Structure formats: C-alpha cells, structure tokens
Structure 1
Amino acid sequence: MNVIQFDGGAVPNPGTRAIGVIIIENGIVIKEISRKLDGIGTNNEAEYSALIEGLKQAISLGWKDIFVQGDSKLVVNQVAGSWKVNKENLKPLNAEAKKLLSQFQSAKVEWIPREMNSRADAAASRALYRIKSSAFGI
C-alpha cells in the first residue's frame, strides 16, 4: 500500500509556515520531508501545501493508487467535497490538490487523529523549530 501522511503548521497563525510529509511504500518510510515554506500564511495553507507536496511526490514515484492521511479535518473534508471552501486563500490550493488527486487511478483521503499522524507532525514541527531557533540565534 502507498501512503502519504501530511501535516502543516504556522507560528503564530498566520505566521511562518512549515510542512511535514511522510511517504510510505509497503509499510516502509521511503521519504520524509520537513521544510519551511516561503512567506507568511495560515496553518490551513500549510496543511494544503503539505498535501500538495505529498501528491507531487507520489506522482514522481509513479504511484497509481494512494491512501492519504492527515489530521486537518478542514483540508480532508474540503478535498473530499464534504465541506465548502469559503476562504479565498484556500480556493487555489484546494483546486490544485483536487487536480493532482485526479491523476491517480484510485485515491482515498482520510482524516486521522493527531496522535496517529505524529511523524508528519514532528517533521513539520522540526522545520518550524529550526526557523524559530535561527531567528533567536539558538
């Protein structure tokens, strides 16, 4: 099974953003992304950016069937079409995520509790901590 776990954060919110993405193939983590995003933005923008990065990674790996997990109810439900996208800043991110998802033969996106998404959360937090630390000369 090919799994993408994603998480994003902003400190403060809105503020500096970072993403965490875990790429899992047949139960083995093959890639972990922990990266700061340019500019200032919201936590939800960071969550979407993490999802989009994970989908791009899966496409580059040639995956046809994916299982995506994230702890953002907003992103998961908006991508699934269960919730409307009301914020203008999220509309292009939602459209991009849906366009990428359409490139797979099958794609399931599901919400998982934060404790089940701990590795992606830790990857995003590491990038945020590096940002915070460098700002204070730590």
Structure 2
Amino acid sequence: MPAHPGRVIVACDGASRGNPGPAGAGAQIVDDQGSVLAEVAEGIGETTNNVAEYTAVIRGLERAHELGASDVLLRSDSQLLINQLTGAYRVKTPHLQPLHRRARQLAAGFAAIEFEHVRRERNTEADRLANQGVDAWLAARRTSR
C-alpha cells in the first residue's frame, strides 16, 4: 500500500433494524485499482437509519484522512444523504445537523471530493460492514447483561 494513496473510493452505508433500532455504520476504502485499504464496521447503539448513514460517512472520511488520501469519491446508496452533502437538499432534521456539519468539515479537508449515489446492489460491501457493526453491538449487549 502506498504511503499516500492519492485517490480513494469510500463506500459507506448505515443500517438500522427497526428505524430506530440497533444500528451500525460501515465503510470500505479502496484505491483506484480496487485494492481494499481499510474497512470500518461499527455498532452505534439504537438510532435511526439516517444517523447511521451519516456516521458511516464520517467514519469513512476520517479513515481516508488517516490513510493520507487527497482525492475522494464517496459513494452511498442513500440519495437523501448524497443530496444533503452536495447541498441539493437542506438538512431540516435538527439532530442530523451536527453530523452533516462534521461530514462537510471532513470533506473540506481533501484536495478534491465527489459524491455519488449508487444503487444498493453496488454498495454490498459497505452494507455488509454496517450489518456487521449491528451484529457486534447486539452481541456485546447480550454478553454485558
């Protein structure tokens, strides 16, 4: 893996079973050759799908910064999220506004960033990671009782 990968693709997804319900955030970062550089699977407690989607973006962009990426293509199957990140839609829900600000702050730290809405079928790895996060959170909750 190069010290500074340059352009990376960050595929993100959030999952919430019940909405609100047990939730997870997943992100996969790949280089322009398709090699996996990093994966994130995080259980985030009981929350909504939109909070999970934003958390996935934030964790994915944080990891891309850690890897030294300068140019990012961020992919998500949430059209609402992509439209909010590009400014096409306003973020009206108060509890999403701080998450939106954090995602935009992280995005501004790259030399270049693009946002792309993809069909669910093209986001399977991020979906797998988000669900892995939910499963890990549920398992930890069961063992702590």
Common fold: TM-score over 0.5:
yes
Q: How does 1:56-71 map to 2 (within 5 A)?
A: 56-71=62-77
Aligned residues: 136
**Shift of residue 127 of structure 1?**
2.2
- Which of 27, 32, 42 is residue 35 of structure 1 equivalent to? 42
SS in structure 2 opposite 1:82? coil
Cα displacement string for residues 58-78 of structure 1 (whole angstroms, at most 9, x for unaligned residues):
111111111110001111100
Aligned to 2:3: none
RMSD between aligned residues: 1.6
Q: How does 1:1-138 map to 2 (within 5 A)?
A: 1-26=7-32, 27-37=34-44, 39-132=45-138
Give the counterpart letter for 2:12 in structure 1. Answer: F
Consecutive unaligned residues of structure 2, counting only runs of 5 or more, are: 1-6
SS in structure 2 opposite 1:13? coil
**Shift of residue 123 of structure 1?**
1.0
Give the counterpart letter for 2:75 in structure 1. Answer: Q
Give the counterpart letter for 1:127 in structure 2. Answer: G
Give the counterpart letter for 1:93 in structure 2. Answer: L
SS in structure 2 opposite 1:86? coil
Change beyond 3 A, Cα 1:96–1:134:
closer
Note if contact 2:43-2:135 (Cα within 8 Å) is conserved in structure 1.
no
Cα displacement string for residues 71-98 of structure 1 (whole angstroms, at most 9, x for unaligned residues):
0111110010001111001111111111
SS in structure 1 opposite 2:123? helix
Percent identical residues: 33
Cα displacement string for residues 19-61 of structure 1 (whole angstroms, at most 9, x for unaligned residues):
1110101310111111101x42110000000000111111111
- How many angstroms apart in 1 are the aligned matches of 2:110 and 2:96? 22
Consecutive unaligned residues of structure 1, counting only runs of 5 or more, are: none
TM-score, normalisation: structure 1: 0.91
